[in-house]
Structures are given as C-alpha cells and as structure tokens.
C-alpha cells in the first residue's frame, strides 16, 4: 500500500479530504498531524477525531502540533467553516472519547515517520505549513526522506481569500511556506486556490450529493450546510469551494490531473498588501538563477473528481 500522513487544520474541506483518504483502498493513512488554522489547535484535533469516528477509523493516530505560526502573531481564522470549524455541527458528532495517540509533537512524528519510511512517505499539507517547516528545521534531511510533499495552498494570479492577495494557508504562516518551497528536497506538488475555485461544485450537483443516505453522507449533508448557505449569498460565487478535498484527490488518484506545470515559485514575505502571496516566475527569458521548485496542478478532470466524491460517501 501507498502511505501518507495528513497535516491539517481541520475545517470542512479538510474533513472531507480525510474521509477521501481513509476510504481509499490503495492508501494507508499512517497518522494525522494537527495544526492551528481554521480554528484553534484543540478544536482542530477534535474535528479530526469526529471525522475518523464517522468513517469508522478509530485506529488512525492523531497528534498535536503547533499552536501558532513561526513569526506571524495574528491568527487569521475566519467564519468560513463556522465558529467550530465544522460547519457549526461539531457537537452533533461526538469524538467517542478518542484521545491523542501520545504527547509526541506532530513535527517530531513527521521527522520520525519520514526516517522510518525513507522515500516512501507522502505528506499532504492541508493547513498552514508550520508543523512541516518545523520538521524541516528539526531534521535538515526531513524532506529528502519524503517521497512527495503535496500542498493545498498558494495562489497563482494574486487572488486572495483571507488576505487581499494571499491564500489562507500561505497567509497564515508565510515563513513556513517559504522554508518549504525554498528548501524541499523532494518533489513538491501545489494545488493553488484559483484552480480549486475554477472547479467549484454547483448547487444542483451538491443537492443531489447531499441526499446520500449513509453515515458519511449524513456528515457531508450536515457539515456543508453552513458553507453552502454562505456561498450562495455571495454575488457571483459559482459554487462551493472544497480545496483540500481536491488536493487529496490529486494524491490518491493522479488521473484527476489534466495539466500540471513545473514552475519556480516564491512566497512574498514583506509586502504590505501581498504578504503570503505565491509569486510564479513567468518570464520567458531563460535566467540561470531560476530553478523550478514545484509542480502546479492547473487543470482537473471534473468528471473523475465527481465520481470520486460520490464513491467516498457510500
């Protein structure tokens, strides 16, 4: 089996991504590491556990990581996933007294597992990149030991969601994103914000999806209601955005990728309006100091994605 660790700030789309990962036969989720982000760290851990309970995967270990960014003091969080990060329905889904696997810190766990499974482990980053950047600082060989790092985050055209010009996960900890994009010694795949938004799920499809009468279907129905109501009231919004779920599909089924570009990208650290923005090198002239550092997923096969979404809740 292929193996992954999911690093998450468990909001609604993270929970769906976890559901996708644990329901895939070809993949084993070794553990889930938690990071502050959509909500505070404790709430994130609880949301991960609720998701695992609904999926019947009590055995997947959950670890706690960083509570704050490396440098930024401001916690962005937003109402996007509602106050509890779980579409406002967290209390309806108990954690069945699931506990953290141990007090071992998420970043230590990442370092340990990367060493134990040299070149076989895929790390899927669905939140601010703090835990993963700390792992890289704890062990400079950390990313060298990975098979791949897949990141939901960053933007390609300066379109922001939490800040004017930056995507939430990068904006939450620009220094962490910068460390990884600069230093990672494994293949890095980025699923940027605008590409996820382009494939928003339309209202009719969602209505149908949310009628699926299974325990997982019920969670999807409840958990997405808040975001759907919110998005429907935003003029011009083309549907529901579930970025982390898309990123997970890229991991478990690369056939969903129609186009990916190898590029050189940077993270803006100082801009007054652009801090956290991902800047893509697009100059046509060959510049000797420009080295590609990421694969950016640019186009999806939507039919294949929708098929996967339906299957994961059966």
Residue 7 binding ligand BDR, by CB under 6 A: no
* One residue of 163, 168, 300, 309 binding ligand BDR per CB under 6 A: 168
Report how far residue 88's alpha carbon sits from residue 103's, in angstroms, rounded to the nearest whole number.
28
Report how far residue 35's alpha carbon sits from residue 243's, in angstroms, rounded to the nearest whole number.
17
Could you give the residue ranges of the DSSP H alpha helices within the chain? 12-22, 41-54, 106-116, 130-138, 168-172, 174-183, 193-198, 203-209, 215-232, 243-252, 302-312
Least distance in angstroms from the C-beta of 263 to ligand BDR: 19
Which residues 36-55 are close enough to bind ligand BDR by CB under 6 A? 38
Which residues 64-83 are close enough to bind ligand BDR by CB under 6 A? 80
Residue 176 binding Ca ion, by CB under 5 A: no
Whether residue 2 contacts residue 27, with contact meaning beta carbons closer than 8 Å, is answered with yes
Residue 193 interaction partner, one of Ca ion, ligand BDR, none, beta carbon < 5-8 Å per kind: ligand BDR
Residue 77 interaction partner, one of ligand BDR, Ca ion, none, beta carbon < 5-8 Å per kind: none
Instruction: Considering the complex, state which of residue 10 and residue 113 has its C-beta at the smaller distance from ligand BDR.
Output: 10
Interface pattern 128-167 for ligand BDR (x via CB under 6 A) = ------------------------x--------x-----x
Determine the interface stretch with ligand BDR among 7-15, 89-97, 98-106, 183-191 (rule: CB under 6 A): 7-15
Instruction: Considering the complex, state which of residue 111 and residue 126 has its C-beta at the smaller distance from ligand BDR.
Output: 126
247 contact partners, CB below 8 Å, separation of at least 6: 17, 124, 126, 150, 151, 152, 191, 196
Residue 4 binding Ca ion, by CB under 5 A: no
Which residues 97-116 are close enough to bind ligand BDR by CB under 6 A? none
Whether residue 195 contacts residue 156, with contact meaning beta carbons closer than 8 Å, is answered with yes
18 contact partners, CB below 8 Å, separation of at least 6: 6, 8, 10, 29, 32, 48, 51, 52, 55, 248
Instruction: Considering the complex, state which of residue 128 and residue 145 has its C-beta at the smaller distance from ligand BDR.
Output: 128
Q: Which of 275, 113, 278 is nearest to 180 (CA)?
A: 278
Which residues 244-303 are close enough to bind Ca ion by CB under 5 A? 244
Instruction: Considering the complex, state which of residue 148 and residue 244 has its C-beta at the smaller distance from Ca ion.
Output: 244
Instruction: Decide if 7 is catalytic.
Output: no
Exposed/middle/buried for 186, CB within 10 Å: 0-12, 13-18, 19+?
A: middle
Which is it for strands 265-267 and 278-280: parallel, antiparallel or unpaired? Answer: antiparallel
Interface residue list for ligand BDR (CB under 6 A): 11, 13-14, 38, 80, 126-127, 152, 161, 167-169, 193, 243-244
Active site residues: 9
Interface residue list for Ca ion (CB under 5 A): 9, 14, 126-127, 244
């Amino acid at each position: 089996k292929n193996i992954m660790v999911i690093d998450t700030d468990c909001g609604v789309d993270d929970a769906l991504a976890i559901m996708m990962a644990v329901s895939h036969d070809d993949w084993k989720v070794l553990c889930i590491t938690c990071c502050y982000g959509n909500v505070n760290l404790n709430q994130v851990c609880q949301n991960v556990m609720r998701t695992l309970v609904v999926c019947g995967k009590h055995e997947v270990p959950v670890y706690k990581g960083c509570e704050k960014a490396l440098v930024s003091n401001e916690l962005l969080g937003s109402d996007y996933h509602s106050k509890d990060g779980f579409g406002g329905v967290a209390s309806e889904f108990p954690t069945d007294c699931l506990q953290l696997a141990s007090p071992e810190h998420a970043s230590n766990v990442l370092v340990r597992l990367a060493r134990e499974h040299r070149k076989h482990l895929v790390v899927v980053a669905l939140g601010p990149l703090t835990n993963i950047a700390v792992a890289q600082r704890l062990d400079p060989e950390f990313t060298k030991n990975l098979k791949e790092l897949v990141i939901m985050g960053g933007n390609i055209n300066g379109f922001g969601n939490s800040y004017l010009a930056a995507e939430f996960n990068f904006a939450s900890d620009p220094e962490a994103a910068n460390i990884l994009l600069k230093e990672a010694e494994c293949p890095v795949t980025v699923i940027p914000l605008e590409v996820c938004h382009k494939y928003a799920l339309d209202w009719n499809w969602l209505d149908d999806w949310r009628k699926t009468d299974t325990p997982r279907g019920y969670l999807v129905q409840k958990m997405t209601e808040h975001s759907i109501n919110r998005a429907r009231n935003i003029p011009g919004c083309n549907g529901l955005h579930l970025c982390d779920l898309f990123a997970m599909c890229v991991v478990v089924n690369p056939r969903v990728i129609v186009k990916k570009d190898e590029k050189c990208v940077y993270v803006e650290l100082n801009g007054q309006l652009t801090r956290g923005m991902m800047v893509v090198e697009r100059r046509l002239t060959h510049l000797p100091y420009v080295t590609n550092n990421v694969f950016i997923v640019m186009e999806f096969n939507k039919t294949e994605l929708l098929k996967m979404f339906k299957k994961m809740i059966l």
